Amino acid sequence: MEMKDKTKKTPVRKSQEKKSDKYYYASQWQLMGRKFRKHKLAMISAFVLMIFYLIAILGNFIAPQGTEQYDGKYVNCAPTPVHLFHEGKFVGPFVYGLKMERDPVTYMAHFAEDTEKICRLRFFTEGDEGGEYKWFGLIPSNIHLFKAEDGKVFLFGTDNMGRDLFSRVVLGAQISLFIPVAGMLMTLVLGLAIGSLAGYFGGWVDTVIQRIIEVVRSFPQVPLWMALSAAIPKTMKPAQVFMLMTVILSLVSWPGLARVVRSKFISVKKEDFIMAARISGAPADKLITRHMIPSFLSYIIVDMTMAIPGLIIGETTLSFLGLGLRSPATSWGVLLQETNKLETIMFYNWKLIPMIFVFLSVLAFNFMGDGLRDAADPYK
């Protein structure tokens, strides 16, 4: 039985050997990439996140309205569906015109489709007045992805000031998706620097840093975020608030990372290759940045990816409470402020749409972190 199997498997084995040869030649990062690609959920998440970030970067172009624009005529308008067929005939993408109606009993105003009027969607056209923006803050332009010809298209409806929710979700992504990443990078720098100081030098430096870490960690995260962001002056420009929020988020979250880095340092200090580098005369800074940090960098990256969801939730929560960015600047948390009133959810439930994006991005980061964690140890 066994003999048979062996003879049968010989050709397969050869190709396997070639494969495994490749396996042994591959660098650590290549192996990680290969392992990550096997994790389907993580790959899908990475793809979703890539699209989200792309939309955020191209936000001003994709969003039909700018942050300052509003239309007092269309307040609390429900999402306008995009149609392709009018009375059975193909017209191409279009929306119907809008007419205001009142509920005969409650007299509440709402908008209904006016099926007489067809407003075709035009793509890559000049936007409305006030929709001007600058590509990457440099090249002025007013070209938007789409616009309804003498009509209004509100993909996600409008808010209580007649602002297009779709535009605000897209523009809000610029804040809600980039503050966490900026905060994470800052945490990374702080955590690596402080953690490596403590781990490398030990002694009293370590003791002092340990005490500081303990103090910062004693503060409950959310209330500390709240207290710090409440101190941001209300008159500040959105860009400055963005910077401060980043600093605040990272100020609260670096100790966790610093602790991990410290313990990694202590364990890696005793490794032979560090001893070899030291004997060869590598100075401390080179020893840290060239040999020690790269040896556990992959774990740190995983840790940081897993930390991003917390930062997204943090930013959203703070903005939701009115302690972060304020209108007309927009982030997903700012958009959700309106949902705090019950009547909003009851009558205008499309205002919960930003929630879906918070949810999806948090979930995607979680799954991606999971995939990265599996990939970080490619020899397993």
Q: Which of residues 295-324 bind another protein (CB under 8 A)?
A: 309, 313, 316-317, 320-323
In DSSP notation, 16-56 reads HHHHHHHHHHS-HHHHHHHHHHH-HHHHHHHHHHHHHHHHH
Q: Please say which residue, 298 or 361, places its beta carbon nearer to another protein.
A: 361
Tokens of 44: 């899908």
Question: DSSP characters for 178-224?
Answer: HHHHHHHHHHHHHHHHHHHHHHHH-HHHHHHHHHHHHHHHHS-HHHH
42 is an interface residue for another protein by CB under 8 A: no
Determine which residue in the list 181, 193, 224, 287 makes contact with another protein, applying CB under 8 A: 224
Residue 55, both tokens: 């939309």
CB 343, min distance to another protein, A? 10
How big is the site for another protein, counted in residues (CB under 8 A)? Answer: 40
Q: What does DSSP assign to residue 78? A: P
Question: Which segment (64-72, 116-124, 137-145, 359-367) binds another protein by CB under 8 A?
Answer: 359-367
Shortest Å, Cβ 215 to another protein = 4
Tabulate helix, strand, coil % of the chain (nearest 5).
65, 15, 25
CB of 264 to another protein, least distance (A): 18
CA distance 379 to 372: 14
Nearer to another protein among residue 120 and residue 217 (C-beta): 217
Report how far apart, in Å, the C-alpha atoms of 38 and of each of 258, 361, 365, 372 are: 31, 21, 17, 11
50 binds another protein (CB under 8 A): no
Strand order across the beta sheet in which 109-126 lies: 83-86, 89-102, 109-126, 143-148
List 140's β-bridge partners, or say none: 134
If one asks whether residue 220 binds another protein (CB under 8 A), the answer comes out as: yes
The verdict on 380 binding another protein (CB under 8 A) reads: no
208 makes contact with another protein (CB under 8 A): no
If one asks whether residue 227 binds another protein (CB under 8 A), the answer comes out as: yes
State which of residues 51, 185, 189, 230 lies at the interface with another protein (CB under 8 A): 230
* C-alpha–C-alpha distance, residues 64 and 353, integer Å: 17
If binding is defined by CB under 8 A, does position 231 make contact with another protein? Answer: yes
Binding status of residue 204 toward another protein by CB under 8 A: no
With binding defined as CB under 8 A, does residue 339 bind another protein? yes
Q: Are 188 and 300 in contact (CB under 8 A)?
A: yes
When binding is defined by CB under 8 A, the residue of 108, 189, 215, 276 that contacts another protein is: 215
Query: SS3 sequence, 99-116?
Result: EEEECCCCCCEEEEEEEE
Establish if 17 lies at the interface with another protein (CB under 8 A). Answer: no
Binding of another protein at residue 211 (CB under 8 A)? yes
Shortest distance, position 312 Cβ to another protein, whole Å: 8
Instruction: Answer yes or no whether residue 55 interacts with another protein by CB under 8 A.
Output: no
* Dist CA 141 CA 131 (whole Å): 9
Which stretch in 5-13, 81-89, 291-299, 345-353 sits in contact with another protein by CB under 8 A? 345-353
CB 309 within 8 A of CB 366: yes
Q: How many residues does the chain have?
A: 380
Does 237 participate in binding another protein (rule CB under 8 A)? no
The site for another protein (CB under 8 A) is made up of: 211-212, 214-224, 226-228, 230-231, 233, 309, 313, 316-317, 320-323, 336, 339-340, 342, 345-346, 352, 355, 358-359, 362-363, 366
